[in-house]
Amino acid sequence: MIKDGMLKKGALTGQTILVTGGGTGLGKSMSSYFLTLGANVIIASRKADVLENAADELRSETGGNILAIPCDVRKYEELENVLKMGIDTFGGVDTLVNNAAGNFISPTERLSHKAFDVITDIVLKGSYNASLAFGKYWIKEKKPGIILNIVTTYAWTGSGYVVPSAAAKAGVLAMTRSLASEWAKYNIRSNAIAPGPFPTQGAWSRLFPEVLAKKLDPINRIPLKRYGEHQELANLAAYLVSDYSGYINGEVITIDGGEWIYGAGEFNMLDNVPSEMWDEIEKYTRNRKKE
Active site residue ranges: 154
Smallest gap from residue 46 Cβ to ligand NAP (A): 3
Question: Using the rule CB under 6 A, is 207 a contact of ligand HXC?
Answer: yes
Question: Using the rule CB under 6 A, is 58 a contact of ligand NAP?
Answer: no
Asked whether the beta carbons of 102 and 172 are under 8 A apart, the reply is no
Task: Compare residues 43 and 101 and give the one whose CB is closer to ligand HXC.
Answer: 101
| Dist. CA 108–CA 127, nearest whole Å | 23
Question: Using the rule CB under 6 A, is 115 a contact of ligand HXC?
Answer: yes
Smallest gap from residue 165 Cβ to ligand NAP (A): 7
- Contact pattern for ligand NAP over residues 60 through 79, marking x by CB under 6 A: -----------xxxx-----
For 244-250, which contacts have Cβ atoms below 8 Å and span 24 or more sequence positions? Answer: 244/7, 244/11, 245/189, 245/191, 246/189, 248/189, 248/191, 249/180, 249/184, 249/189, 249/190, 249/191, 250/176, 250/177, 250/180, 250/181, 250/190, 250/191
Q: Which stretch binds ligand HXC (CB under 6 A): 52-60, 98-106, 138-146, 236-244?
A: 98-106
Count of residues that interact with ligand NAP, criterion CB under 6 A? 29
CA 124, 75, 138, 98 torsion: positive or negative?
Answer: negative
150, interface contact from ligand HXC, ligand NAP, none, CB < 5-8 Å by kind? ligand NAP
In one-letter notation, the amino acid at residue 253 is: I
Which residue intervals of 63-162 are DSSP H helices? 76-90, 113-120, 126-141, 154-157
Beta bridge partners of 40: 16
- Contact pattern for ligand NAP over residues 8 through 37, marking x by CB under 6 A: ------------xx-xxxxx----------
| Dist. CA 243–CA 291, nearest whole Å | 60
Task: Compare residues 169 and 189 and give the one whose CB is closer to ligand HXC.
Answer: 169
Residue 37 region, left (φ>0) first, then alpha (ψ -120 to 50), else beta?
A: alpha
- Contact pattern for ligand NAP over residues 141 through 160, marking x by CB under 6 A: ---------x-x--------
| Dist. CA 210–CA 64, nearest whole Å | 36
| Dist. CA 25–CA 184, nearest whole Å | 30
Question: Which residues in 111-140 contact ligand NAP (CB under 6 A)?
Answer: 122, 126
74, interface contact from ligand HXC, ligand NAP, none, CB < 5-8 Å by kind? ligand NAP
41, interface contact from ligand NAP, ligand HXC, none, CB < 5-8 Å by kind? none
3-state secondary structure of 17: strand
45, interface contact from ligand NAP, ligand HXC, none, CB < 5-8 Å by kind? ligand NAP
112, interface contact from ligand NAP, ligand HXC, none, CB < 5-8 Å by kind? ligand HXC
3-state secondary structure of 173: helix
User: By the criterion CB under 6 A, which residues form the site for ligand HXC?
Assistant: 101-104, 106, 111-112, 114-115, 118-119, 152, 165, 197, 202-203, 206-207
User: By the criterion CB under 6 A, which residues form the site for ligand NAP?
Assistant: 20-21, 23-27, 45-47, 50, 71-74, 99-102, 122, 126, 150, 152, 195, 197-198, 200, 202-203
